[in-house]
Chain A
Amino acid sequence: MRYALLHILFALAFAPLLAGVINRVKAFFGGRRGPSLLQLYYDLFKLLRKGAVYSRTTSWVFRAGPCIALAAVLLALVLTPLGTTPALLAFPGDLLLVVYALGLMRFVTVLAALDTGSAFEGMGASREVQFSALAEVALLVGLLAVAARVEAFSLSVLARQAWSGGMAWPSDAILLLVAAALLVVLLAENARLPFDDPNTHLELTMIHEVMILDHGGVDLAMIEYASALKLWVMGAILVSLALPLPTAQPMLNLVAGLGAIMVLALLIGVIESVMARLRLVRVPQLLVTAGILSFLAVMVAMR
């Protein structure tokens, strides 16, 4: 319980650091010094001090979007374990709730985007929905594969089993398959390369960024912070299932988990540095591939 609370505090405090780590890695590969590791914190504080401008076309949906998105991702965070550190709230079936809390976050973001009536945002919303429909399958089926293997239905139990080596990793192919699928989903869901380019200013190519063009001030801060937490949540799930670092010390486990999330941020930075973005028409193919990996994992689990 104590460690679960600690994990949540760490997540709340350090989630914006992930973006800083990713950007520094990208800068390193590009031969630049890059922005400060704390840049997202500065940006958030800047945004919190700003007022917002609301288009007359928008309604309460537009204003509610960022609040609900942040609330939804906080809910997901409360249900997310990190290695053997269990989630604050764990019950059979919580993995479904995590997936659909993230789904709710996306849903309200899409609604807020559509509410602006802008052609850009409609385009982004359409892309987001199309791709997430495929990503969700990969994520959910992947988690179910692990659940079927462990014969438990709570994310915390899954994570503890996988982390403590109870599943004989890496001989167990399930975790390998699911980890690969989850990495793809993580990149897609968090608007990272090769799916989306978080750096671009070109509206026509954007997926996630274009949906939040009309948000400003505190609303934008909430969205940015929620996005950072979402990356943390998905990263925590991924490293919990993929990395067996069984130690006796709960505190050591927590620290190892935090380290693993930072390493994941490094990995994302490297991926973003060495490859170009996919053509938009190719995105579904990669997501379907991730889905196939998840289904394979289910088949192995049912064997």
Chain B
Amino acid sequence: MTDHPVAYIFNGQVLDRTDVPVMPVTRLRRMTIDHVSGGGSISALFAVPQGDRFRMHTVLCDPEREELAVLAADVDNAYPALTPDCWAANWFEREIFEQCGVRPTAHRWLKPLRFQPQAHGVAAPLAGLADFFSMKGEEVHEVAVGPVHAGVIEPGHFRFQCHGETVHHLEISLGYQHRGVERALIGGPDRRSLHYMQTLAGDSTIGHTGAYCAVLESLGGIQISRAAETIRAVAAELERMANHIGDLGAMAGDVGFLPTLNYCGRIRGDVLNLTALLCGNRFGRDLLTPGGVRFGLDDARRAKLLQGLDEVEKDLQSAVPLMFNAPSVMARFEGIGALTADLGRRIGLVGPAGRACGLGYDVRNRLPYGAYRFDTVPVVTYPSGDCFARAYVRWLELEQSLAFIRRQLSASGLESEILKACPALQPCSLVVVLAEGWRGEICHVAATDRQGRFAFYKVVDPSFHNWFGLAQALRGQQISDFPLCNKSFNLSYCGHDL
């Protein structure tokens, strides 16, 4: 990435918008493709209206160099697509086409991603009404699942092309949960913005709200207190623990292994209650606020929290190894839905799903922020890329989270100086914030206008990277193994649909 000006920034650094170098789109395309083939990843790729043209932005993450690069290029109504040479750009380019009407030429499958109203007043198409890949031939059949499902889960449509029990292709069509969060944030921040963030993906409240707060604090030019950073990190790890525990239980349930299902369901509740101990809400709503946190942690609560963690750990040690030691469970987990590290890298997997393919990328470790700058969390990987790996990586991460929270809570003084006033945002600035939610990399990109209001606010939920990974993992698998594979990814519908 040389011989052309590129803005290199660290996680959460503010740039003057005029400092983002604008390059020809062919240059942006080539640099992005080279970056990804060189082992980097795309954190965000989007276009926003700029006068009567559109400005494309790419946020490239270079985990080896621990920095981010922001590229920009102006485009009219078409540009040469990245996707044929860089699969990780696939859904980003579909989003660009859907939101701005800018056509990535040579992209072969530009169907709508969210079925949202389009840029130039074109009405939103009915969700799910689109072409699907289909297979022809004798004994080939198609199975459509959703958007209404048997369990209490979010809506999404899954179209399987099967030959007997074998899945040859799975196409996932989402968008049923589209609320227009990014649109609603333009002109913000206002009193509603924080609430949009807390429910961007309800199970990642701390993850997304933390990123949003970091955006506002960077643009406001303040640094929150160490105590606030500690409480945020503890809340984030509790969120990770609760969800990982729930996922391990759900995976056990999908193979009909009841003890782990039942115990993990209960232990997850215990961890959620620890979050409630922090702030009164089991999902951490209203704990984080720009400038710090609303609730401190006095020594009595701290002791109670640590004691609760001991009990959780004890219960986990009897519930989870039971599952990993059961041969009948391992027979269901091992070798199912396997993705190679190469494929995972090319489609840009993030989070536990990526680490389960052996991709050693964790924002907390590679681009540390907040309390993670002072206390490094090791990156947990496992090479096999199958359902077992996705379960096992979660288990190892649980142990790391437990240890991290204990280290963070070893010091007292977490009850005062937890909240600062957050000043007005710097005008004409751009900031990129990455955070490691429990599903993986959360990326928020915000830019302010001359008045210091949001000119645009871009959210990339980890699910946005990973849904295509689930579709790939199903290739050549038994259709009856889909629910297990789906649980092993456990992606967010609303986080994707925004």
Contact = CB atoms under 8 A, between A and B. Distances in A.
B30 to A, nearest CB: 42
Interface centre among B145, B258, B332 (most CB of A within 10 A): B258
B254 A120 contact: no
Interface stretch (B214-222, B282-290, B351-359, B480-488): B480-488
Given A199-B256, A275-B328, A30 B262 contact: yes
A119 B150 contact: no
A199 B250 CA distance: 13
Contacts of A30: 258-259, 261-263
Interface residues of B, number: 31
B483 A205 contact: yes
The dominant DSSP class at the B interface is helix
Given A30-B262, A31-B266, A202-B150, A123 B479 contact: yes
B328 A205 contact: no
B483 A202 contact: yes
Interface stretch (A41-49, A164-172, A259-267, A278-286): A278-286
A43 B259 CA distance: 25
A26 B478 CA distance: 28
A109 B238 CA distance: 48
A32 interface: yes
Interface in B237-278: 252, 254-259, 261-263, 266
A282 B262 contact: no
Interface string B358-384: 000000000000000000000000000
B105 to A, nearest CB: 36
B326 interface: yes
Contacts, number: 90
Contacts of A201: 150-151
B184 interface: no
A273 interface: yes
Nearest to A277: B256
A277 B255 contact: yes
Interface residues on A, range: 20 to 34
Given A194-B328, A201-B150, A204-B143, A280 B480 contact: yes
Nearest to B144: A119
Interface centre among B151, B256, B482 (most CB of A within 10 A): B256
B329 interface: yes
Interface centre among B142, B255, B479, B483 (most CB of A within 10 A): B255
Interface of B: 141-145, 150-151, 165, 252, 254-259, 261-263, 266, 326, 328-329, 331-332, 336, 478-483
Given A30-B262, A194-B328, 9 more contacts: A29-B258, A30-B258, A31-B263, A31-B266, A199-B256, A204-B479, A273-B259, A275-B257, A276-B331
30 contacts: A30-B258, A30-B259, A30-B261, A31-B259, A31-B263, A119-B141, A123-B143, A194-B256, A194-B328, A200-B256, A200-B483, A203-B145, A204-B143, A204-B145, A204-B479, A204-B480, A204-B482, A205-B254, A272-B258, A276-B252, A276-B257, A277-B256, A277-B332, A278-B328, A278-B332, A279-B332, A279-B336, A279-B481, A280-B478, A281-B165
